[in-house]
Amino acid sequence: MKTLKAAILGAGFIGRAHLEAVRRLGFVEVVAIAQSSEARAKELAKQLHVPRAYGDYRDVLRDPDIDVIHNCTPNHLHYAINKAVLEHGKHLLSEKPLTMTSAEARDLWQTAKGKRLVAGVNFNYRQFPLVQQMRAMVRSGELGDVRIVRGEYLQDWLLYETDYNWRLEPQYGGSTRALGDIGSHLIDLAQYVSGKRIAEVFADMATVVPVRLKPRSGRLTFETGGADDAEPVKVDTEDYSSVLVRFDDGTRGVFTVSQVSPGCKNGLALYLDGSKAACGWEQEQPARLWIGRRDRANETLMRDPSLVGREVASFVHYPGGHEEGWADALKNMMLNFYRAVADGADAPPDSVASLEEGYRVMLVLDAVVRSAKEGRWVKVGEDVA
């Protein structure tokens, strides 16, 4: 198999996670890093043992050796960079959200059409083995008719007024923050696992910490802060959201998203209530799948290659009891994405979110924001061309 060559744009927390996951594949080499300045790029390239460093992402796109671009830059840069990547004929794996607006996301989806490129969005929670098991149970009818979809994504890294990050600022993170940042994962996961599309929403959003202390020097994501050398700033983006949802077949659901819930570090959870059985998965306990029954004892299915369905086996790489977690799910993402690139596919595989799916998530976010402002049910795609 040909060794594929990749470049990572933005080597912060998520960019470094991409780098590590790609290196585990064995048939892909990360040959370049791009940052906002050449000096910083060279510093990180040396630190991370990457041979090439660029201070301008456009120089990366002109490099004929590079096959794949990982866009791990801040949200406000996604659209312009993703568009340029596609126009230069490079395969693209973009961090979420795909863009700042649904119009931009739709443009990227349309731009990618007709190009023999694998272009996807990193909704990596699809790649956990027991998430795949849930999806298989829906498809096989083991749960019966799925009637209710319940989900939450809770964190606490922005609990204090001294917690600050560029994601808090709409010009960099977008008009919705908690929902756009982590809620987008929950929206994608709910639709992917259930096989249903969200059609209508009723939302409540709140900025729980309306004034925060912004440090005069930059701070990394998840890095705690202090009051020294900081200035108070007003915050407009939401810390918390609750959303009632209706799916296209009439199924109901409810989502809660928060970045100010003490003790919750990365509390993504999804539950499906069916006419025969229910199931639930929590990201902080990824090796356990709860299965609920009415007429017999509930079950806990452990992540074990001998216990999961046949279609799930490729997502499990170690024997039962040898736990696989977040980094392993991200590696599954890279493996499935790069296999498609190596095979010459013109679209990502089913387990990798496409640009169209990234666009559909943006439409849901649009509807949530509008619903919260207007206090009513809003159809997804309402008044959106």
Pair 289, 194 in one domain: yes
Whether 295 is covered by a domain: the verdict is: yes
Whether 199 is covered by a domain: the verdict is: yes
Whether 326 is covered by a domain: the verdict is: no
Pair 211, 175 in one domain: yes
The pLDDT score that the predictor gives to residue 385 is 44
φ/ψ region of 82 (left if φ > 0, alpha if ψ in -120 to 50, else beta) reads alpha
Pair 115, 140 in one domain: no
10 Å Cβ neighbour count for 59? 15
Pair 86, 208 in one domain: no
φ/ψ region of 357 (left if φ > 0, alpha if ψ in -120 to 50, else beta) reads alpha
Residues of the chain with pLDDT under 70: 218-228, 383-385
Number of folded domains that form the chain: 2
3-class state of residue 116 by DSSP: coil
Whether 226 is covered by a domain: the verdict is: yes
* Residues 294-324 as b or e (16 or more Cβ within 10 Å = b): eeeeeeebebeeeebeeebeebbeeeeeeeb
Pair 233, 270 in one domain: yes
CB 48 within 8 A of CB 32: no
Torsion of CA 381, 122, 345, 130, to 10 degrees: -100
The pLDDT score that the predictor gives to residue 379 is 98
Whether 15 is covered by a domain: the verdict is: yes
The model's pTM is 0.94
Of the candidates 126, 79, 97, 74, the one whose C-alpha atom is nearest the C-alpha of residue 363 is: 97
Pair 146, 47 in one domain: no
The pLDDT score that the predictor gives to residue 219 is 55
Pair 42, 118 in one domain: yes
Pair 140, 110 in one domain: no
Pair 113, 141 in one domain: no
59-83 pLDDT, tens digit per residue, is 999 999 999 999 999 999 999 999 9
Cα-based distances in Å from 317 to 45, 114, 171, 217, 332: 30, 35, 41, 42, 9
* Residues 26-38 as b or e (16 or more Cβ within 10 Å = b): eebbbbbbbbeee
Pair 46, 146 in one domain: no
Beta bridge partners of 267: 154
Torsion of CA 193, 198, 202, 208, to 10 degrees: 50
The pLDDT score that the predictor gives to residue 225 is 58
10 Å Cβ neighbour count for 162? 16
Q: Sign of the C-alpha dihedral, residues 186, 129, 324, 322? A: positive
State CA 317 to chain mean position distance.
22
The pLDDT score that the predictor gives to residue 192 is 98
Which H or E run includes 79? Answer: helix 78-87
Pair 309, 370 in one domain: yes
Whether 379 is covered by a domain: the verdict is: no
Report which residue type is found at 50.
V
CATH code of 298's domain: 3.30.360.10
Pair 214, 99 in one domain: no
Cα-based distances in Å from 93 to 15, 168, 295: 11, 24, 45
CB proximity list for 271: less than 8 A, separation 6 or greater:
149, 150, 151, 278, 279, 280, 281
CATH code of 120's domain: 3.40.50.720
Whether 158 is covered by a domain: the verdict is: yes
Give the domain range for residue 117. Answer: 4-125+334-352
Cα-based distances in Å from 2 to 6, 288, 338: 13, 37, 11
Whether 357 is covered by a domain: the verdict is: no
